Structure 1
Amino acid sequence: MTRTEELIALEASLGAHNYQPLDVALVRGEGVFVYDVEGKRYLDCLSAYSAVNQGHCHPRILAAMVEQAGKLTLTSRAFRNDQLGLFYREIAELTGSHKVLPMNTGAEAVESAIKAVRKWGYEVKGVEKDKAEIIVCANNFHGRTIGIVGFSTDPDARGGFGPFAPGFKVVPFGDAEAFERAITGNTVAFLVEPIQGEAGVIIPPEGYFKRVRELCTQHNVMLILDEIQTGLGRTGKLLAEQHEGIEADVTLLGKALSGGFYPVSAVLSNSEVLGVLKPGQHGSTFGGNPLACAVARMAMKVLIEEGMIENAAQLGPYFLEGLAGIRSNHVKAVRGRGLMLAVDLHPEAGGARPFCYKLRDKGILAKDTHTDTIRIAPPLIITKDQIDDALAVFDTVLGI
């Protein structure tokens, strides 16, 4: 039995079976590459669902983490620390936000935003107690908590976990007219991903978010953009909202906010929304801790100073064009924005997972989603030569 097989067997015997990972056991990462326990190198084309936009083990983020870990890691929010205010200032300046609520995971950021906009609805908008409604989109993915899966349309995410909290309406993604019809006097927010990542990198029609922004302003509805996957450079802009020149009322960041070193998330908004939260009404033991803040500060700094967003903007279309140029009877469509890409396969191809294993065998790690789609999202530091190498492998695996 190989070392990989031993580790897979150990996971299978002791772990809950709530994941079905590709059978590779990774031991080390550097830049765009990861290495398994047998020493084989792979190009990472998933980036931990965009958590490692800056590349694996970025040396500057690592140094910031080690330095802070040797000084102070956690105080809880019972006391102040010397990193939180600096984190607030730097993320606010970067994103144009006015108020920041630090949390740990993306799902926590989503839950925090839901709480805040509901409270805003009652105290500011004047919605009747316990009548607040939040509109969401079909095929959304915002996390795995009981509150979030209650408004998922994925049977696997919902099945067997009810009863669920009321107060959510589901509309089709990309349909501004359906969104408008769903708005009532009790609507406090629209929670939506700029691009639906887990659903298979689904990009809405051009102009959709401009119209959504107009409707939210018209009806005094808070627009919450979940940029946990799309934010921080993944689409070739700092935030995906910038592709349509709009601004959300509430922006959710996570994943790449720490460069993959540590769970860090943030709710970004204004005093009107976040100002409704008073002491004792919301919190987190680890949220805003000094280690998290120091890591996030450096993760943002390298993203900007090392031109990673510009690299995604330049090389994303190149990668997409290369994928589109593959002659294949298996490929139905390719799409993407920046370095957030997807390849749809025809149903008769037999599913995306076997192709992901073929890619793995040739040194590329990508992930199947929704049966027939391969998601591709390499670190934003990838080079043109590395993309060329990857395209040669994709051509071998997918081409006919």
Structure 2
Amino acid sequence: MTVTDTTSAAIVGGPGLPQERRVVTEIPGPQSRRLLERKAQAVAKGVGHSIPVATVAAGGGVLVDADGNSFIDLGSGIAVTGVGNSAPRVVEAVQRQVAQFTHTCFTISPYDSYVEVAEALNRLTPGDFEKRSALFNSGAEAVENAIKIARHYTKKQGVVVFDHAYHGRTNLTMALTAKSMPYKSGFGPFAPEVYRVPMSYPYRDGLTGAEAAERAISQIEVQVRADNLAAILIEPIQGEGGFVVPAEGFLPALQKWANDNGVVFIADEVQTGFARTGTMFASEQFGIVPDLVTTAKGIAGGLPLSAVTGRAEIMDSSHAGGLGGTYGGNPIACAAALATIETYEQDGLVERAAEIGTLLTGRLNAMRAGDPRIGDVRGRGAMMAMELVDPATGRPDAALTSRVLAAAIAQGVVLLTCGTYGNVIRFLPPLAISDELLNEGLDIVWKALTDAE
């Protein structure tokens, strides 16, 4: 099927969408090219795009473009649509809420769905202690508010972050983010009192978790000192920085030092949260219990929502009116979040993420055994990656990564890259994807890699 008029084409999304890869035009096709031409004339150049197609429907494990091409989705909108696009519970909950009311502003007139989301987050996040939550709109906004809360609670200003970290594109979160291009270049000056220390990166540093933690803590004590430090902020598994999984023992050692020294330990679970890694939160896999957790992406099935959840005494330290925002915890997004959380729990998606992880690990390691350009395979659950390198030197090979990406897209697979050096291919399939589609997508990636020799 080739769709020539997206205004009249009867394309149904959601789980009813045929779960198949189908390439019927060149990529991009004529309808997608038309939209991209309009984008160039109407949208700021700084708003880029990775995949040159105009999406008109999505569901399960596929995206369909305006030309009728059906793509295997290995990106989930950057880990957002874990429950799949247009998941039935989410669609029904959103439709009900839109018919009731779309907005009041929770800080003007509260409503129950915001409270219910907070209660769910307090229950689900790691830690057997009294918690509070506050809702916002984006991951960056959640991170900013976590830092605000930590500073208010500790009466200190310093924040420690890590090499390869990504935390957002607002002014403060750009300061927290490591990579300059494209996130920070030309946008300074940045917020002060941010200190960067080395991350545990086993493939490249060869250190044990204890050794990497000692290196980081030593630098913190020399450059900042605990009596100036409000918070340590870290992604349990780094996202944009390359899906870097720290060595065993690294995160617990950092948390212990923070707890012993009156420093708030914040886990940025924006990308790792909500079943993505095979547990509800990645912190669980590393044996850490953060003081504060930031969430977004997978929280609401594609609607904009984020949160900060943590120890009641820390969260309650801010004065009334110090937290909030016009759209934070919008009732439609809250309805979607409750339906999304129900879907994770009722449909066994935590377990499904672990199954996907087993499949991905097996397939990617088999590829690695057959191709020395795959320097490393890492990740957890449905958040896996392979790092492409020059096999002679081990240096990052961003050019090869770009060629593989382009070839996979041309054959109907949505694929994303990441990494400080631009040489990591990441796999973030919806948890609703079938094994058949996932394996077919991996076959395409393998062919793209072998053809790129």
Shift in Å at residue 292 of structure 1? 1.9
Report the alpha carbon displacement of residue 283 of structure 1 after superposing the two structures with TM. 1.6
Displacement of 1:395: 2.4
Q: Is 2:191 the counterpart of 1:191?
A: no
Deviations 1:112-152 (A, max 9, x none): 01111001111xxxx4xxxx211111111001001111233
Match of 1:89 among 110, 119, 142: 119
For 1:13 and 1:288, locate their aligned partners in 2 and report how far apart those are by CA, in whole Å.
33
User: In the alignment, which residue of structure 1 is the partner of 2:381?
Assistant: 338
What's 1:9 paired with?
37
Aligned partner of 1:107 in structure 2 is 140
**Amino acid of the residue matched to residue 190 of structure 1?**
I
Instruction: Give the letter aligned to residue 366 of structure 2.
Output: G
1:237 matched to 2:279? The reply is: yes
Q: Within 1, Cα distance between the matches of 2:300 and 2:150?
A: 26
Aligned to 1:30: 59
CA apart distance, 1:269: 0.8
Q: Which stretch shifts more, 368-377 or 167-176?
A: 368-377
> Out of 395, 399, 407, which is 1:358 matched to?
407
1:325 partner SS? helix
Evaluate the alpha carbon distance shift between residue 109 and residue 359 of structure 1 in structure 2; reply closer, same or farther with a 3 A threshold. same
Post-superposition Cα deviations, 1:273-306, rounded to whole Å, max 9, x if no partner, equal: 1111112222211112322221111111101110
8 Å Cα contact 1:331-1:398 kept in structure 2: no
Contiguous gaps of at least 5 residues in structure 2: 1-28, 201-211, 391-396
Matches of residues 284-303 of structure 1 in structure 2 within 5 Å?
284-303=325-344
Residue 115 of structure 1 aligns to which amino acid in structure 2? K
> What secondary structure is seen at the aligned counterpart in 1 of 2:112?
coil
- Residue identity opposite 1:9 in structure 2: E
Match of 1:386 among 428, 432, 437: 437
More off after superposition, 11-20 vs 109-118: 11-20
- Other-structure match for 2:244: 202
Corresponding residue for 1:264? 305
1:179 aligns with 216
Equivalent residues of 1:329, 1:399 under 8 A apart: no
Map of 1:170 onto structure 2: 196
Q: How far apart are the structure 1 equivalents of 2:192 and 2:445?
A: 45
Structure 1 stretches of 4+ moved >6 Å: none
C-alpha deviation, 1:328, in angstroms: 2.9
Say if 2:139 and 2:297, in contact at 8 Å, map to a contact too: yes
Question: Mean alpha-carbon deviation: is it higher for 160-169 or for 56-65?
Answer: 160-169
Deviation at 1:329, TM superposition (A): 5.2
> SS state of the match for residue 70, structure 1?
helix
**Shift, 1:308, TM fit:** 0.7
One-letter identity of the residue aligned with 1:316: G
Equivalent residues of 2:74, 2:414 under 8 A apart: yes
Name the CA distance, whole Å, in 2 between partners of 1:358 and 1:164: 37
For 1:146, the equivalent position in structure 2 comes to: 171
Measure, in 1, the Cα distance between the counterparts of 2:422 and 2:123. 41
State the shift of 1:9 in Å.
1.2
Of 414, 420, 426 in structure 2, the residue corresponding to residue 375 of structure 1 is 426
Deviations 1:2-60, CA, capped at 9 Å, x for gaps: 11111111112222222242212211101111101111111110111101111111011
Q: Give the Cα–Cα distance (whole angstroms) in 1 for the partners of residues 93 and 176 of structure 2.
A: 38
Equivalent runs, 1:210-225 vs 2, <5 Å: 210-225=252-267
User: How far did residue 390 of structure 1 move?
Assistant: 2.1
Contact 1:344 1:373 in 2 (8 A): yes
Seq. identity, %: 30
Does the Cα contact within 8 Å between 1:192 and 1:226 map onto a contact in 2?
yes
Q: Secondary structure at the match of 1:272?
A: helix
Asked if residue 135 in structure 1 is aligned to residue 177 in structure 2, the reply is: no
* 8 Å CA contact 2:134, 2:324 repeated in 1: no
2:109 and 2:135 map into 1 onto residues whose CA distance is 15
